[in-house]
A = this chain, B = another copy of it.
């Protein structure tokens, strides 16, 4: 196919463009990167115009802007595909653990190291380059294409729902395509049909109104770090069962059929232990590792701090202690309801000798998409062409709140077609994207548009 030949001939330039994209430190959660996020949006709009989209613009929201593009010349008979991605990235911390600077993309062997390489700049850019290949070889893609690339995914997409509601007509489509997930094994392409939701809280415990000498006051002043540790320890038992009243009320158990399918997915525990570096796995013994990380809700402390944290000893009884806590949710848990249940429970557990504040940071709904749609079939064939491998159908543990929103507001299903690998170190130091997957992702996207263009989308 000419589009494939074109894509192969332009691999080096595509990779160089991705490197330019990765040089922009578009960290959405940190105010100091405000201008970088804007720069990334403008950069992406310019590349969309170059790729052939007749229209591409940076559209304001209450937060970081959305980059929108549209190319609807395939005709009314052709389906319209709404491609979602995010051009913002996670903070690079802890910086000292990066072997190469996070915003100086570095090639090592077949991998490209940079914050955002796999999550999500490298993945979203495959589709931009697929459209370019169609333009240069056939004049236009075989489907109508719309793009919605947001700049707040790593902050929980606070402005996205309002944007989608406000621009419902502009965004109307037959289906959505998201590439923000990965293979479950190096040679196991995966189409994701289930995602977890998220409820994220920050806890602040205040004891004395200033730091005290632990000798002079210890024993009669409740230490806020001690109190915080007890509070959060009491939220979960030692096997991972969450003890917040009502937490499991709306959890839908995995159907036996899905459990059987998941059990058949190629998964090697030893490889997983190597990949994570943990001495052993942990969690609810009655569920498999794959089930625990994808179909079960969790509670993780993402950060904790208080008191003296530099080298040496300081005998301080600190005034305050803080924790960041997030819960991954499964269908049909509601993030807002869960955040309230958790906050209420934490406040109820708080002893009278300290003050406890709980602040919600962000949330996102879990999602399940129709496993029987013809989209899944088209995506499966596209992977077989692009990677020479048949993909598996799986649930994943991350959260992409937009999937539930596109279901509920736009009424469309999403196909989650990811090109990342398990060792991409998303959200960690030394994040990378496997370059062959970048090239094959472009080809898979070209094939997907081809298969979609040839048949009606339900």
Contact = CB atoms under 8 A, between A and B. Distances in A.
Interface stretch (A106-114, A120-128, A233-241, A383-391): A233-241
Nearest to A430: B210
B219 A313 contact: no
A324 B313 contact: yes
A301 to B, nearest CB: 4
A58 interface: no
Nearest to A200: B313
Interface in A231-279: 232-234, 236, 238, 240, 276-279
A212 interface: yes
B306 A304 contact: yes
A90 B316 CA distance: 10
Interface string A269-305: 0000000111111111000010011001111111111
A324 B352 contact: no
Contacts of A397: 215-219
B282 A209 contact: no
Contacts of A31: 311
Interface string A331-352: 0000000000000000000011
B278 A221 contact: yes
A213 interface: yes
Contacts of A116: none
Determine chain A's interface SS by DSSP, over half rule: loop
B207 A283 contact: no
Interface stretch (A9-17, A91-99, A159-167): A91-99
A91 B310 contact: yes
Of listed A218, A283, A317, A428, residue having the most chain B CB within 10 A: A218
A324 B307 contact: yes
A305 B306 CA distance: 7
Contact of A230 (B233, B353, B427): B233
Contacts of A208: 276-278
Given A216-B426, A317-B302, A282 B222 contact: yes
Contacts of A216: 293, 396-398, 422, 426
Interface stretch (A41-49, A68-76, A354-362): A354-362
A238 B156 CA distance: 36
B396 A301 contact: no
A426 to B, nearest CB: 4
Given A238-B230, A278-B208, A361-B312, A214 B30 contact: no
A303 B307 contact: yes
Given A29-B312, A305-B309, A315-B302, A276 B355 contact: no
B309 A304 contact: yes
B215 A276 contact: no
B311 A226 contact: no
Contacts of A280: 352-353
Given A308-B93, A430-B210, A226 B301 contact: yes
A216 B425 CA distance: 10
Interface string A369-392: 000000000000000000000000
Contacts of A299: 226
Given A226-B232, A313-B361, A397-B217, A210 B302 contact: no
A343 to B, nearest CB: 15
A217 B310 contact: no
A304 B221 contact: no
B425 A281 contact: no
Contacts of A317: 300, 302
A310 B221 contact: no
Contacts of A306: 301, 303-305
8 contacts: A220-B293, A225-B323, A233-B234, A279-B353, A280-B352, A302-B315, A305-B305, A305-B309
Interface of A: 29-31, 90-91, 93-94, 97, 154-156, 196, 198, 200, 207-223, 225-226, 228-230, 232-234, 236, 238, 240, 276-284, 289, 292-293, 296-319, 321-324, 326, 328, 351-355, 361-362, 396-399, 422, 425-430
9 A-B pairs closest in CB distance: A209-B277, A29-B312, A215-B398, A303-B307, A225-B301, A282-B353, A222-B282, A233-B233, A219-B292
